[in-house]
Structure formats: structure tokens, C-alpha cells
Amino acid sequence: MQKRLLYLLLLISFGCVQPYEVELEEGPQILTVDGTITSGAGPHRIFLSKSATYGSIFEGLVRPVSGATVIARDELGNMVFFSEKSENRGEYQAPDSFFAVIGRSYTLQIQLSDGKVYTSFPEKVTQPPAIKKLSYKSVTTPVEGEINNASGVQLIVDIDDPGEENNFYYWRNAQATYVLETRPDLFVNKETRDPAPKDCCSICYTSELVGNQSIFIATDDNFNGLSTKIPVAYIPDDGVRFIQTYRIDLRQLSISSEAYRFLRLVKQQSETSGSIFDPPPASIRGNMISLDDPNEVVLGYFIAAGETSRRVYIKGAELDFRQNRGIIPDDCREVYDSVVNPPADWNPEE
């Protein structure tokens, strides 16, 4: 073995190595569909992209799919066309006036610019149970190698689950608005590095869409017909969000058993520990198929759901734990697309 290694080293050291150029064909691109329509107010969006198969050298390369015709159709033949947003390729949005009707079934139909046609299986929109109460609490999480814990706010719903049917729940964050505090008196000239305090402004209002760090879903197998409390969202504390008041709307979706199964598998795969004992990533089939080639793999899921929502104002002073306050040395109007006046419906005392 040692002689063989020595021989190889000599070849590498004294041999003339010519670069070998390899032309690799791009692997097959898989269409991925990510879209949801609900009985609530929009926007209702469909995202189309293509990505390489697992194990391909192009794995991780995601390309938006532009120029497609995207239609949602109900069982009565009513159709709604989704228009592609010019500033965001691959994102298709329904008209502002559209909403899904409780009791109807919807099918998503897609025709790509190359003529290929795809469709979903029908998804029925069911009546969502009401959110009886929406509360919150501080949560902390130890971080390996860090002295300070990560923290955030967990949202918790109280619901009275209907007993006459099996229900499947999916929770998503809607837009949030919060009071932004900055320190314009600490502003520094970026060129001279000299203090240049500003007279205004230290209090603004800014909005954001903060995604959950997990998929929050539930089935009522263990609480059918009962009242229950369920954690449904998590908002990280970045040292700025919870200085004063943070307002968020929570969307509660009533989804099909098939959509719940899909989301549960995605959740399980995304939350694996990353150890050598984890199963390898797998493509999770959704409810989309190709009408040209039934054997073609299509990823993602088209969800049609009933929606109810609830708003909560999170008072920073009431939280048991907050991160150290983040200092922003500038006029608050100059950061985060903030405005001085609160939204017309801002009412922390409601």
C-alpha cells in the first residue's frame, strides 16, 4: 500500500497534468407549485419554480417559472385568472376582489410557455372553526455556544373544536405592524464619522410579514368536539420588535386531510436533526399532476381552505423576557420603510 501511494505521489509531482474539461448536461428540472387560496381577503398567490432533482450537481438551483397561464376553477365552471407580478417573476396573483367560496371545490390549472399543462386534484373549501381567544407568552431557547438565549413570542389559540367532523388546522402569520423606536440623537455622519444628531423622529410605525420558523398544523384526533389551546406561531425577538407594541393578525385555515398529510411530511423532513441516522431527503408528492406525462414528478401543493383570523396586540412591557434593546442611531423614517402616523385602525386597547 505504501509503495502504491509513493508511486501516485511521484506521478502527481513530476507528471504533466493536462486539465480535463467536462461538459455536463443540466439535470431534469422539476416543476414546483406553492399556492393557497382561502375564503379570506387576499392577496391569493401561486408561486411557480423549477429545481433540480436530489443528487444532481444543479441541486439547490431554483428558477422562477415565468410566462405561464394560471387559472383556478370551481366545480360550477367559474374561473379566476392569476396575473404574474412584473416585479417578481414566478409569482402569480388573483384579482383583489377574489376569495374562495365555502363549500365549493377548486382546481388549479397551469399551462407553461412551452405548452405543457398541469392540474391539481380538487380541493374543497370547508368552514373554519372560530378562534375563541388569541393569547401570547415569552419563550426562550438555549443556543449552543452562546451565553444569551434566543427568545421570542409564542401565539396560542383557544378553539372549540366541532364534534361532528374531523378537522385539520393550518396557521399562518398575516402582516404585522409595530412601533419602531430609534435614536436620531445618536446619528453619526457616515463620511466624517462626526456626531450629527437629528431633531426628528424617534417614534414610527413599520409593517412586516414575518414567517414562522416551523409549520404549525394540527388534527383534532385527540380533541374532537372539545375546547383546547394550541401553540400556533412563533415571532423571534430581534431587540426591536417588542420594545413597545407589536400587532399581528393570525390566519387559521381549515384544510383537507390530504393537505394536512402533505404539510405534516414537509414538517417532519424540515425538522430532522441532521444526524447520520436521519433518512435522506425525499421528494414529497403533492396534488399536482402533468396532463401530458402522468409519470412526470411535480412537487408542491395547491391548497384551498376556509379562513378565519384574529388580531392581537403584544405589549412589550408585559413580556416576561425580552432581548437587549437594539439601538438604531437614525431618524426612524429613514429605516424599515416606516411612517410617523399609525394605521387608521391602530387600537392597542381593543
Report d(CA 136, CA 158) in Å as an integer. Answer: 11
The range of the structural domain enclosing residue 190 comes to 28-334
Q: Does residue 126 fall inside a structural domain?
A: yes
Q: Does residue 4 fall inside a structural domain?
A: no
Phi/psi-derived region of residue 168, left when phi > 0, alpha when psi is between -120 and 50, beta in every other case: beta
Report d(CA 71, CA 35) in Å as an integer. Answer: 12
Q: Does residue 340 fall inside a structural domain?
A: no
Q: Which of 160, 171, 311, 175 is nearest to 254 (CA)?
A: 171
Q: Does residue 261 fall inside a structural domain?
A: yes
Q: How does residue 337 score in pLDDT terms, banded at 50, 70 and 90?
A: very high
Q: Is the pLDDT of residue 21 over 90?
A: no
Q: How does residue 69 score in pLDDT terms, banded at 50, 70 and 90?
A: very high
pLDDT in tens, 291-317: 999 899 999 999 999 999 999 999 999
Q: Does residue 5 fall inside a structural domain?
A: no
Q: Is the pLDDT of residue 274 over 60?
A: no
Q: pLDDT value at position 211? A: 80
Report d(CA 309, CA 253) in Å as an integer. Answer: 9
Q: Is the pLDDT of residue 24 over 80?
A: no
Report d(CA 89, CA 115) in Å as an integer. Answer: 18
Dihedral sign (CA 282, 288, 294, 298): negative
pLDDT (mean) for 145-152: 89
Q: pLDDT value at position 324? A: 94
- The chain-wide mean pLDDT, for the chain, equals 88
Q: Does residue 56 fall inside a structural domain?
A: yes
Q: Does residue 250 fall inside a structural domain?
A: yes
User: Residue 288: which residues within 8 A CB-CB, separation 6 or more?
Assistant: 31, 33, 108, 110, 118, 119, 120, 298, 299, 300, 301, 302
Query: How many domains does the chain fold into?
Result: 1
Report d(CA 184, CA 27) in Å as an integer. Answer: 53
Q: pLDDT value at position 12? A: 41
Q: Does residue 128 fall inside a structural domain?
A: yes
